[in-house]
């Protein structure tokens, strides 16, 4: 848990947390109960998506990796093929939601205040504003952060992690919890590679495989359009799989469920304050 940044108490769970604290419960028990409450709400969100055949994708990255630009390009590319809605997460402003609405897709902005991640309760509240009837694909653009968002289940079916070439090719090694939960890793802003001779995509992939991750590494430039075909093909496969699950009344989780990741981090001896 993040004991220093305050993200363990969010607008989504504040009332529940204070109710527990008022009972005199020890802090560690409060945090455990918050995670359990989050997971229960996440399961409710996932059932909400599954009843409507909606594929929910959680986008995570550091700030400025290009999540919103990717969404704009994706909305344009799938226009007329898949109906897209977006839940946007940021500490402040509704700038990103405004950009998505300008592309003609419904978007709800969540401002988290001091919380550096979204939680399932925040997403649940946003779903009541956005409405999912007629939606095929819901993107949840998480708060820019390579640590905390990895440990919170939101009810999503898939996790996608973006890594821009401006950040350095060793990020999977430095932030293993985030990259372990990825079902797909997007190497973004590849149009800048000619200017960044110290970034080696092969090293990035080697670090990713060192984590025993089978997630595809898909290079692309949302700005220039290069490499988008690989990303769109991955999305189309996931959409088709979700529609098949919907017909059979089935569901799915990200390849590495967040709760399992939390436990692995603890078992490996990493400080409990690392993921939140």
pTM to 2 decimal places: 0.85
Tell me the domains of the chain and their CATH numbers: 14-267 (3.40.50.300)
DSSP labels, 206-275: HHHHHTT----EEE--TTT-TTHHHHHHHHHHHHHHHHHHHHHT-----SS-HHHHHHHHHHTT--TTS-
- Separation CA 167–CA 185 (nearest Å): 14
The three-state (H, E, C) secondary structure of 109-147, written as one string: EEECCCCCCCCHHHHHHHHHHHCCCCCCEEEEECCCCCC
150 CB-contact burial (10 Å; exposed 0-12 / middle 13-18 / buried 19+): buried
Question: What local confidence, expressed as pLDDT, does residue 24 receive?
Answer: 52
Question: What local confidence, expressed as pLDDT, does residue 274 receive?
Answer: 30
Res 27 pLDDT > 80:
no
Of 41-45, 92-96, 267-271, minimum mean pLDDT range = 267-271
């Amino acid at each position: 848990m993040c004991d220093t940044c305050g993200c363990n108490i969010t607008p989504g769970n504040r009332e529940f947390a204070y109710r527990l604290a008022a009972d005199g419960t020890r802090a560690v028990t409060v945090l455990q109960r918050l995670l359990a409450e989050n997971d229960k709400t996440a399961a409710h969100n996932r059932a909400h998506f599954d009843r409507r055949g909606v594929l929910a994708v959680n986008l995570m990255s550091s700030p400025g990796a290009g999540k919103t630009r990717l969404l704009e390009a994706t909305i344009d590319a799938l226009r007329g093929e898949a109906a897209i809605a977006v839940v946007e997460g940021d500490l402040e402003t509704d700038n990103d939601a405004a950009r998505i609405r300008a592309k003609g897709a419904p978007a709800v902005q969540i401002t988290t205040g001091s919380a550096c991640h979204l939680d399932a309760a925040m997403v649940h509240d946003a779903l009541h504003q956005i409405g999912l009837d007629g939606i095929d694909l819901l993107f949840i653009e998480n708060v820019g952060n390579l640590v905390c968002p990895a440990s919170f289940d939101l009810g999503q079916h898939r996790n996608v992690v973006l890594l821009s070439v401006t950040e350095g090719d060793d990020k999977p090694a430095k932030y293993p919890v985030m990259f372990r939960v990825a079902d797909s890793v997007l190497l973004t802003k590849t149009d800048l590679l000619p200017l960044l001779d110290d970034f080696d995509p092969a090293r990035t992939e080697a670090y990713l495989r060192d984590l025993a991750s089978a997630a595809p590494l898909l290079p692309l430039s949302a700005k220039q359009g290069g490499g988008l075909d690989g990303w769109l093909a991955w999305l189309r496969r996931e959409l088709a799989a979700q529609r098949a699950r919907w017909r059979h009344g089935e569901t799915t989780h990200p390849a590495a469920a967040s709760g399992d990741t939390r436990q692995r981090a603890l078992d490996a001896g990493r400080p409990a304050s690392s993921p939140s």
